[in-house]
Each structure stands twice: as C-alpha cells, then as structure tokens.
Amino acid sequence: MPIHEPAAAPRADAPWWSKLHAALMPDYNRRASVYWWAMVLGGGALLLASMAQVAMLPPLVWLQVAVGMALAMLAGLFPVRVPGTRHSFVASDVFIFLLLLLHGPAAAAVAVAGEAAMGSMRSSRRWTSRIASPAIGTVAIVVAGSLLQALRTRFGVQGHGPDQTVALMALAMGTALLYFLLSATLFAGVLRLKRDEPFFQLADFVGVFRWVGMAYAGSAALAALLLAAYAVAGIGVWMVMLPLLAMLLATLHFYFRQQEATRALRERSAEAEAREAEAARRETLAHARHLRELQASERRFMSAFTHASIGMALLAFDGRVLQSNAAMSALLGRDAGDLGGRRLRDLVHEEHAAALEERLAGAGRGVFDGAAVELRFVRPDGGTPWAGLHFATFTETESGEPCFIVQAQDISMQRAAEEQLQHLAFHDTLTGLPNRRRFMQCLEGAVARSRADGNYAYAVMFLDFDRFKLVNDSLGHGAGDALLVLLARRLQERLRPSDVVARLGGDEFALLTERMGQERDVLALAERLMEALRTPFLVAGQELQISASIGITFGSVRYTSAEAVLRDADTAMYKAKAGGRARVALFDGSQHAEVSRRLRLEGELRRALDNGSLSVAYQPVFELQRGHGGHAGGLRALEALVRWRHPVEGPLAPAAFLPIAEECGLMPQLTDFVLHTACRQVRAWQLSHAAWAELAVSINIAAEDLAQPGFAARVQAVLLESGLRGEHLTLELTENILMSRIDGAMSTLAELRRLGVRVAVDDFGTGYSSLSYLARLPIDTLKIDRSFVADLARDGDQAAVVRAIVHLGQSLRKAIVAEGIEDSHQLEQLLALGCTLGQGHHLAEPLDVAATSELLARERGAGREALRLH
C-alpha cells in the first residue's frame, strides 16, 4: 500500500490487527494512523501525569479543580452563537484559563480533557474523535501552560497590583492565542493527513482567527481579571462575578436569538412582499395562487409567533389579551386559556399599572408609533418577575382591526444584578450597614426637612471606638473585622427602625436619629449605647472590652449642609476623647478652634520628628538615704523624657502633644527617637568617666510599642548601634497598659529579658494588677505613682498603700522607686516607710544634656554630698 494513499481492504491472510484497523478506522491512511496514535498516547500520558500531580495537591485545590472542570463542562453545553456567522463563543475557556493561572498546567489539563470529552460526545459520533479530542486538547494546554508558567516565574508576574495585573493579562492572552494555534493545528492535522495534504496551512486560521482568536484572548483576559479580583477581595468576589458572567452570557444568548428571530421575520416579510408584488403583477392570471401564498405567509407568521422563545401576545387597544404564545404563558405563570380576554393591566404589579397605561394612552388617539417599558408582573404563585415589554401596532388579524403586538423578555436576573450593585454602592461590605455615601444622603434629607419645618428635630452622633487599633495590631485585622461586625450588630439592636447607623470607615460610625423628642432623649440613647458596649465581646477566643467616645450635635443649630453637621459631630467626638475617652460630649462653637489647633499640632509634630526639633531631658533617680540635713544620697539612674520647644508656643508639656501622637499613630516613631537619643547619650556619659560606667537610663514606652511584633528587634538594634548594654536600659510601662496587654506582652517581655533589658511598672497602684502575673512577669522595678506620694501628709491611708507596695516589692525582690517627691517631708516619710529610691522636683528637675553633664561632674566630685535642685 502506498504511504500517501487511503488504506485498502486487507487481504484474507493479513494480520488480525490490520483487519481490526480496516474495520474501525477505514478512512485513516498510515500517516494519519501514526499521527492519531501518537496524539492519543502522548495526550493520555500527559493527562495521567496531570491527574497524578493534581492528586498530590491539598483537598481544597481538588475541590477547586473539580468545580472549575464542572463549570467548564457545563458552560460547554451552552455555546453562544454569533449572529451572521458559523462561530460560537463558549464560556468554558474562562474557567480553564482561571485554573491555569491559579494551579498551573496540570489543573488546566484535567479541565480541558473533561470539557473536550463533553464537547466531542455532543458534537461527534465517531469514537476516534471522542478519544482524540481530549488528548489533543491536553497536549495543547500543557505546552502553552508550561510556557506561561515559565514566563511568570522568569518575570515574577503574580497578578497583585495594577502593573502585575496588566502583565498577567498580557501573558494570559498570549498563552490563549498560542493554545488556539496549537489546538487548531493539531486538530486540523488529522484531517489533512487523511486527505494527503500538507500538515499545516496558514489558510486554516484566516477564516476563524477573528472570532475564535478574539474569544480565546478575551476568555484569558477575563480569567486574569478574576484572579486579580480574588487576590484583592477574596473568594467572595467570585460569588458576585460568576452570577454576573452567567447573566451576561444569558443576555447575549437571548439578544442574539432575538436578532436572529427579527432577521427571520424581516426575511419572511421581505419574501412575502416579493410574492405579493409578483402576485399583483400577475393578478389577472394567478389570483388564486396569490391568495394561497398570502395564507401561507400568515401561517408562517403564526408559527413564528407561537414558537418564539420570547413572550409574545396580541392586545386590543383596550388592553385585552387576544392571543398569546407559550413563552408568554410561562413568563406569567398562567395557561393560554386563562390569559385570553384578560386585561394586561390586571396582570401587572399595582405600582407599575400607571406606567403601562401611560405608554398605551396615545394608541386610541392615533398617535402611537410604539413603546417600551420595564415592569413587574404578578404570578398566581406569588412571584413577581421583571419583564421588558415592547409594543407596536399590528393590523394583520382575522377581523382586520388594528391591535398591539407585544414582545416580553424576562429581565429578572438583570434587575436582580442591578439591585445588588445598587446595594453594594450604598452599603458597607463588612458590616452590611449603610456607608458614608448613603448616610450623607439621609443626613441631607434631614437637613432639608429641618430647613423647611422649624419644628423638625434631628441629631447626629459620631462614634469612635477607643484603642481599636490595638486589636488589629495584637490579634490581626481578621479579629478587628470580626469585632466591627459584632459592634455593628449590638448598635443596631439598641436603635429604632427609623434610626440610621452607618459605618463611615475604619472604626468610625455615625448615627442619625430623627423625631427623638427632646435633647435629653438623645443623651439617654447615647448612654444606653455606652452601657451596651460594656458587655465584653468574644473575638478569636478572647474576651475584649471596648468603649466608645461619642460626639453629638443637634439640628437646632440650623445647619445648611450635611457636611457641616458631620464635621461638628466629629469635633465633639474629639472633645470626648480628650476628656478621657469612653464618654459623651456635645458640640459647641468653641470647639472649632480647639480642633483646628489639634490638627495643626499634629502636622507640626510630624515635621518636628522629621527635622529633629524634639529633644530629650533627663531626670535623675537618687538613692534615698539620710545624709546631711536629711537630703538624698547618690545618683543611681536617669529617666529620659521627650521635650518639644514649639517655634511659636514655646515649650509644650508632654500632656499637650503625647495624646496627639498616640491618636495619629506617631508613638512608635517618637519612642524610636527617645531610644536612639538617650542610649547614645548615656553611653557617652559612661565612657566619660569610670564612676559612671554603670549609669542606667529608663525610657517610657507606649501600648502601640508593646503591641508591635518587632519591638524587641528595634530595641536590640538601638543597643547594638549605641554600644549600651541591655542591663543599663529600663523600659517603663504603665500598669494599665501592661495588664490590658498581658497575653500579647509575655513573649515581647521574654525577648527583652534575653537582651538583658530591665522592665519597670510605672504609675504602680493606680491599676488592677494580678499578684500572680507580677510574680511571673520579668519585671525588675515598681514605680509608686506620684498621687500616693503627694497625699502622704494629708491621708494616712496613702501611707499604708505605699508601705504595702514597698513590702510587696521586697517580697517579690523588685526595686521600688517613688515618683513625684516635691518636699523634704515626703522624702522623710518615704525613708521611714522603707523606700530606697526616688525622683522628683525636690531632688532634681528634668535637665537638658548640658545641665545633666554638670550634675554628673558635681556628683562625682561631691561623693556622698546630697543634691537639691529647685
């Protein structure tokens, strides 16, 4: 047998496999057979390898691959044919390319094989095609996908961020075109080899590249966009995008079907007109034939009317249904007999009946050219489907009387998608509450009503949850989001249905309440909300206590804009925070200046940190012992304190700018400044004289510092840079900060202890410490709060408290430092109570670097001589 000719019938003595080949593959010559077997075996091997590779992945990935393959196979059953061409668009390629981008060529190969098998079972009866299609598809996607994977690895394209997304889309579209060329070449090769034609011809692609190539590239681009959206918003975005994709395909399908039906009607109408013209020309010779053609045309129209895929009906001008097709009956959920004679207005939802009557009102006056309207019907089962209706006049009825022909298309899915998008535009996706945009709309309405009616009352509350950032920093943003959801739910439970509570962003919420009565009722509501928040929240297995600062303004101020209302409520909220948090504040006009100053100081503090305008003062800590005149003994350590000399307002007290730094997130930067400055300076004093080789320094740190995972590493870097040993550095935390962050602080304190750094509890006695924690925590020093020292002379109970703290420290082997020693009487009492270390203005005020250097020199020269600075 010649190698380029079709297989001939085998001889009687031919081998059994030759006879089997002739029976099963009679039109395959030798080249075509070899090529077919090569593709089947190669593709099968690749498919088995891909399935084995997928089987090694986690179960969640199996599920994703299975779902992707099922969606691809399902989408392959519903091709969308492009009107006027022989080509169709199939959405299965979107899911195949999405699996390729997510999990690589192996996952895509499994999906391609499943989709190709489903498609070949539907489109071909030949077993050779049903076997070859999945194998060839597997070879093409593995080759193209492997190249894509290599390029992504080479150029680091993962799809996160705008530039990455654009690059990923370009690579995906190029891969899609390569996949198209490979699969088209490999499939066409079988037919060309069977016909003894060249294996590849460019003409194979010219006719199909425009539509098919664009479809492949578009599917790949859409898959890349879905992957980018998944990376930003998570799997929830697919829950929205996949129904929208299905709705888009359904809309295209019905639109193209309608175009084809319209074109068919036009073609039939043109054909009827041509026949009518021919019949008119031959009217004297073929009048009977003309009548038969006219009747045939009517039958064809009625056939198209009856079997149309969209709802169609004939209506009298008074709105009665004269005739309807099956699609219209299905849309309205009624039998055709039930529709006949009924008024269309009675089948429409009452809120749309007037719109329907308005569209048809001009028909009776002879000025009706057509109308379109979207409305809801009412089905007997209670459903209310949306439909797009198009009306036109129609005269080809048996009676010859004009009527309406109505086309109705179900648009329920489209309207549902539009309503979902509308909801997303005006609601917070995390809590489901109205967002800022929606809240401002409601507030603008309240302002307008108040301006029109002077007796109309409303109020706005601005809520900001105190120290919420600590939850995100310590437990993670997932826990923070969960807490926001619980907070939103608890707020809603305490409000009336007419009240509007919205999430403005972050942990900021706003509440609009109207017709509340008197202003004291609004204050009572605010107190109820504060009380509701006192019950702890269970988040991530931990009980969290959260409070809120609430600012309130009333519509009686006669606002003219919603922005001004929200601004003043926000201003009042800052007043509440400045008053100590967890409280309610009312707006008054004087607060504008205060807020403006606060915002100005925030900006100036940022610039001061950047340009080095801040400084550090040092307050000595002395050994308390009876010297000459009852004075203190030698200097033992220094406490570093940040100072800011404002260029306009002069020296500012720390209480004036530290709360601002805490609120705007500048505390870590401020702590780093004090750490670097103080450690370098103390190390310089240690090197200046052997007497100060063991000089130590203590530095206050904030809750934000303790919550950050890398804080211990920051301290270690400062120690290495400055050369200061860890045991010469003490970090001071307030008792409340330490105990509120006890679980998260344990690991950080342990890391600091490994560095040799000491830890002191500042303001001890003012919080609620647990003795078990004090015994277990790596704490070296307890600093008695200055409030106890100040009241020693006036209150005997305070002396008992100080004595108890001293005995507690001695029992736990902790150093005790008394703060705020202001006179000699307090010094004598502390000595009598057993306190050995102290600091305060009576002993020495905070000093700048130069004054501290002079103090160290005098202290070194005076030996045990006591020092008193006023």
Taking all residues of the chain, what is their mean pLDDT, rounded to a whole number?
Answer: 78
The pLDDT of 152-178, averaged and rounded, is 77
Q: Is 103 within 8 Å of 68 (Cβ atoms)?
A: no
* DSSP at 700: E
pLDDT at res. 639: 94
Residue 678 has pLDDT above 90, yes or no: yes
Q: What SS3 state is found at 814?
A: coil
Residue 719 has pLDDT above 80, yes or no: yes
Residue 549's H or E segment, with its range, is strand 548-554
Residue 127 has pLDDT above 80, yes or no: no
Phi first, then psi: what are they for 447, rounded to 5°?
A: -60, -45
* DSSP at 377: B
Q: What SS3 state is found at 791?
A: coil
Q: How many CB atoms lie within 10 A of CB 199?
A: 13
The pLDDT of 430-448, averaged and rounded, is 91
Residue 131 has pLDDT above 80, yes or no: yes
CA atoms lying within 13 Å on the CB side of residue 625: 10
Residue 397 has pLDDT above 90, yes or no: no
pLDDT band at 543 (very low <50, low <70, confident <90, very high): confident
Q: Which of 75, 86, 123 is nearest to 248 (CA)?
A: 75
772 or 810: which leads in pLDDT: 810
Can you say whether the dihedral through the CA atoms of 603, 606, 610, 611 is positive or negative? positive
Q: Is 782 within 8 Å of 809 (Cβ atoms)?
A: yes
pLDDT at res. 2: 37
Highest mean pLDDT range out of 8-17, 314-323, 408-417, 527-536? 527-536
Q: How far apart are CA 77 and CA 249, in angstroms?
A: 13
pLDDT at res. 755: 93
Residue 793 has pLDDT above 90, yes or no: no
In this structure, of 51-65, 209-223, 531-545, 703-717, the range with the lowest mean pLDDT score is 209-223
pLDDT band at 487 (very low <50, low <70, confident <90, very high): very high
455-474 pLDDT, tens digit each? 888 999 999 998 787 787 77
Residue 415 has pLDDT above 90, yes or no: no
pLDDT at res. 829: 85
* DSSP at 847: B
Residue 359 has pLDDT above 90, yes or no: no
pLDDT at res. 862: 59
The pLDDT of 10-25, averaged and rounded, is 57
373-388 pLDDT, tens digit each? 777 787 787 777 888 7
Phi first, then psi: what are they for 359, rounded to 5°?
A: -65, -35
Amino acid (one-letter) located at 839: Q
Q: How far apart are CA 90 and CA 75, in angstroms?
A: 6
pLDDT band at 6 (very low <50, low <70, confident <90, very high): very low
Instruction: Provide CB contacts within 8 A for 835, sequence distance 6+.
Output: 624, 784, 802, 806, 816, 818
How far is CA 296 from each of CA 271, 274, 302, 312, 740, rounded to the nearest angstrom? 11, 14, 10, 20, 89
Task: Quickly tell me which residue has 């681009």 as its tokens.
Answer: 221
How far is CA 224 from each of CA 15, 57, 142, 212, 579, rounded to the nearest angstrom? 53, 22, 18, 19, 51
pLDDT band at 619 (very low <50, low <70, confident <90, very high): very high
Task: Quickly tell me which residue has 């080809």 as its tokens.
Answer: 396
The pLDDT of 100-113, averaged and rounded, is 84
